[in-house]
Amino acid sequence: MAAQNCDLKKPICSRCTRFPKECKYDINIINQNVVTHTRPSEANRHNESVNQSLNPIAHQPVLSLSPFISSKESQFFMHIFNTETAPRLFPAAPALFLQRIIASSLETPHLLYALLASACSHHSRLVQDTGPKSKVSCLSFTNLSISSLRSALSETNATLTAETVTTAMALCTNDVCNGNMQTWRTHLRGVMRLLGAFLDTQGTLRIADPYIQCLVKWFTTMDVLAGLSGLSTSGVMSSDTGLLGRSFDLLSPHVDDICGYSLKLAPLLARLSQLVQRQCHTEPRMQQDVLEESRTLEVEILSLVEYSVASGDSLELQSTHLAFVQAALLHLHRRVQTLPRNHETVKEDIRKVIAAVEDIPPFSSTNILILWPMFSVGCETDDTKEREFIHKRMGDMQSLGMGNFTRARELLSRFWASETSLPWDIYFSNLGLELVLF
């Protein structure tokens, strides 16, 4: 039986013999942030400016290990977050974004404990450790993060910081991966309030700091997908993507490396979520207005099909963008225009989503970005081969320790077994089941 605690032995610890990667304990999370002081070339000055913004302590010549990670357990889980958890949660994010999260946590206890909780729960899923000790460790880190965050916010003249917002978002994301839906609602509302209040303190019309822009996009992704994840989660947040407008003069046509789709699609997804709600609650005599709006929205969504191809993004990000665009059309056709599953338009939507997913290698972490498109297609298709493909691809991501894929995959199997004719969002709402496809 493998040891329950990491013993930090080289070249590999006893607990990590089943770990997906060779485990090395050089703790390079500190030293990799130290940069050499050289005179930048003209071409690199912009990159240096971005680096300074994303990594505020990068230019300190000597960095000692944070006193908050003095135990072997915390050092181990910080290592796991850096090498496994962060790349899984943000598979396409710029390295400097992740570096700043880690560097800032070394001086911010509530953020550090939130990251350790995320790494602890992720690692337990990776090595299939369901024992009580692992659960106690994850809960302990979570409670330390929450209590430390409350203390920081209650201090006299406390100033909201980017790290405060990051802590709340990390806790919320971990809730989704762990299936803590009730806690997730509380934390997501808290994220919205903290992020809005933080942006109010910036005093500028547009936020130039790329790290803060990443935070806005992180929240937008959670917010929009909450609205698209079913009737019980729709309306939990504003889903109006208004925070994007406070951070960007123009939404880029390029595929975003946090969201996995062009930011121009985000407000369209929010409108789609609102139309689904209206379709469900509008009197029959008023539904013609909803249908007319859906046709306008359909044209706008279709206009984004070629964006990723023209913008020069990688093939995998082009594919995630296309998967979202086609899944949006599928959602529109099924939930708003109420086309039946056997309608040729619906079948074509399904084929196009699957074609986009097929262009992504099976075990590429990029698949993590497209849980909503995969789940939507899985629920809408009756084709055995298409179901098997989606189930297998979601299983690949489950094997990478992604708890949100575990829960979604289980509910997908339950939906198939029911053989219900109800749309999946109505079916799960009737059962009182919640899922967040983030």
- Give the lowest-confidence range in 14-28, 88-102, 205-219: 14-28
Q: What would you measure as the largest C-alpha separation in the chain, in angstroms? A: 71
Q: How many Cβ atoms are within 10 Å of 71's Cβ, its own excluded?
A: 9
Quote the pLDDT of residue 188.
83
CA–CA gap between residue 215 and residue 195 (Å, rounded): 8
The pLDDT value given to residue 240: 53
Of the candidate ranges 130-144, 232-246, 285-299, 368-382, the one whose mean pLDDT is the lowest: 232-246
Q: What is the pLDDT of residue 182?
A: 76
| Residues contacting 128, CB < 8 A, separation 6+ | none
Phi, psi (degrees; rounded to nearest 5) at 200: -65, -30
Ranked by mean pLDDT, the top range of 73-77, 164-168, 207-211, 286-290 is 164-168
Question: Average pLDDT in the 302-312 region?
Answer: 70
Write down the pLDDT at residue 406.
94
pLDDT tens digits, one per residue of 54-85: 333 333 333 345 667 778 888 899 999 999 99
Residue 436 has pLDDT above 70, yes or no: yes
pLDDT at 249: 64
Tell me the mean pLDDT in the region 342-370: 96
Higher-scoring residue by pLDDT: 202, 260: 260
- Mean pLDDT lowest for which of 182-191, 352-361, 417-426? 182-191
Sign, Cα dihedral of 44, 47, 53, 54: negative
Mean pLDDT in residue range 89-112: 93
The gap from C-alpha 35 to its chain's centroid, in whole angstroms, comes to 29
The larger pLDDT score, comparing residue 279 to residue 256, is at: 256
* Residue 154 vs residue 234, higher pLDDT: 154
Of residues 244 and 76, which shows the higher confidence score? 76
Number of neighbours of residue 46 by Cβ within 10 angstroms: 10
Confidence at residue 45, expressed as pLDDT on a 0 to 100 scale:
38
Residue 381: pLDDT over 90: yes
Which pLDDT score is estimated for 98? 93
Q: What gap in Å lies between CA 268 and CA 375, rounded to an integer?
A: 19
Residues in the chain: 438
CA–CA dist 105, 86 (Å, integer): 13
Is residue 197 scored above 80 in pLDDT?
yes
The distance from CA 175 to its chain's CA centroid, rounded to whole angstroms, is 11
Is the pLDDT score of 345 beyond 90?
yes
Predicted confidence at residue 193, as pLDDT, reads 87
Number of H helices, E strands in the chain: 20, 0
**CA–CA separation, 178 vs 141, rounded Å?**
14
**What pLDDT score does 40 carry?**
37
Q: Is 181 helix (H, G, I), strand (E, B) or coil?
A: helix
Predicted local confidence at residue 313, as pLDDT: 63
- The type of residue at 49 is S
Query: In the predicted model, what is the mean pLDDT of residues 292-321?
Result: 84
* Residues 6 or more apart whose Cβ sits within 8 Å of residue 333: 339, 343, 345, 346, 349
pLDDT tens per residue across span 382-398: 999 999 999 999 999 99
CA–CA separation, 163 vs 192, rounded Å? 14
Q: What is the mean pLDDT of residues 347-364?
A: 97
Rounded to 10 deg, the angle between the 266-281 and 210-228 helix axes is 20
Range ranked top by mean pLDDT from 10-19, 158-167, 178-187:
158-167
**Average pLDDT for 151-175:** 88
One DSSP character per residue, 372-410 reads HHHHHHHHH---HHHHHHHHHHHHHHHTTT-HHHHHHHH
Q: What is the mean pLDDT of the chain?
A: 81
Q: pLDDT-based confidence at 232, cuts 50/70/90? A: low
Q: Name the pLDDT band for 308 (thresholds 50, 70, 90).
A: low
Burial label, 240 (beta-carbon count in 10 A; 0-12, 13-18, 19+)? middle
pLDDT of 161 higher than 80: yes
- Where are the chain's structural domains? 234-437
Please check whether residue 403 is in contact with residue 174, taking contact to mean a CB–CB distance below 8 angstroms: no
The token duo for 58 is 């990068």
User: Mean pLDDT highest for which of 78-87, 128-137, 187-196, 274-283?
Assistant: 78-87
Is 74:29 a contact under the CB 8 Å cutoff?
no
- Check residues 434 and 116 and name the one with the higher pLDDT: 116
Query: What is the mean predicted confidence (pLDDT) over 139-148?
Result: 94
Tell me what pLDDT residue 368 has: 96
- Is residue 4 within 8 A of residue 133, CB to CB? The reply is yes
Please list, residue by residue across 166-175, b when 16 or more beta carbons sit within 10 angstroms of its beta carbon and e when fewer do. bbbbbbbbbb
Residue pointed to by tokens 């099976």: 362
pLDDT at 365: 94
| Mean pLDDT value across residues 324-331 | 97
Q: Is pLDDT larger for residue 58 or for residue 134? A: 134
Give the pLDDT confidence score for residue 389 in this predicted structure.
98
- Predicted confidence (pLDDT) at residue 7 exceeds the cutoff of 90: no
DSSP code of 333? I
